[in-house]
Amino acid sequence: MVSILGFKLNPNLYLRDPQSTELGQNIIQYSIKIMEKIGFDEFTFKKLGTEMGSPEASVYRYFENKHRLLLYLIDWYWTWLDYRIDYQNQNIESPQQRLRNTIKMLVDEKKSDPEIPFVDAQMLQRIVHSEFEKTYLTKQVDADNKEGLFLPYKELCKKIGQIIKEINPKYAYPQSLASTIMLSATHQLYYAQHLPSLTNIRKDSKQKFTEMAEFLESLVMQTLNIKDR
């Protein structure tokens, strides 16, 4: 398995960079597959090793525990998404258009990148929707934060906040609005799938990703008092 495109993540996440070896890439691939199927709580390194056909001990050569592995997968996702947003927004001067592009990319159903064959982007997106908050709603959140384990998410939030500030320099809460957008992008789609009374987005709608983008765009633009489309 060969990856053409790779991302440098915080070395505090892992004991050995899984992107650097075929075994490590298998760990990522099968972790996504199993975690998306049974959830983080039921996921174990023993189950991962069995699915991979490798000893459980081999996983521990890459990750200290499953919490660090989940953090790695989530950080990988935000780093990859940040990269794709930058690519989409290059040479676009209008901050309104850059914000619309960013919102669309936050909520769109993800497609796997042929340059990264060991990551199923659709499965990973569903993991982010269902498991993301388990990375920071923990007793060790402050220690993890000091190690920089949430940096990809925070950097993308900062980038969105900067676009908001461009659109309306007088708006006092750009980071609050940016983090609200990002969480809503995961919450609303999760609600549509599992708690439908909490959202107007319907899981069986063919336009659910478009509707979600339109909802977030209207929320942001009305908050910023932007009337042009």
Tens-digit pLDDT profile for residues 56-70: 999 999 999 999 999
3-state secondary structure at position 58: helix
Q: How many Å apart are CA 115 and CA 161, to the nearest integer?
A: 30
Q: 11-223 belongs to which CATH class?
A: mainly alpha
Residue 211: in which H helix or E strand, if any?
Answer: helix 208-223
Question: Could you tell me the residue ranges of all domains in the chain?
Answer: 11-223
Tens-digit pLDDT profile for residues 82-120: 999 999 999 999 999 999 999 999 999 999 888 899 999
pLDDT of 4 higher than 70: no
Stated pTM of the model: 0.94
3-state secondary structure at position 174: helix
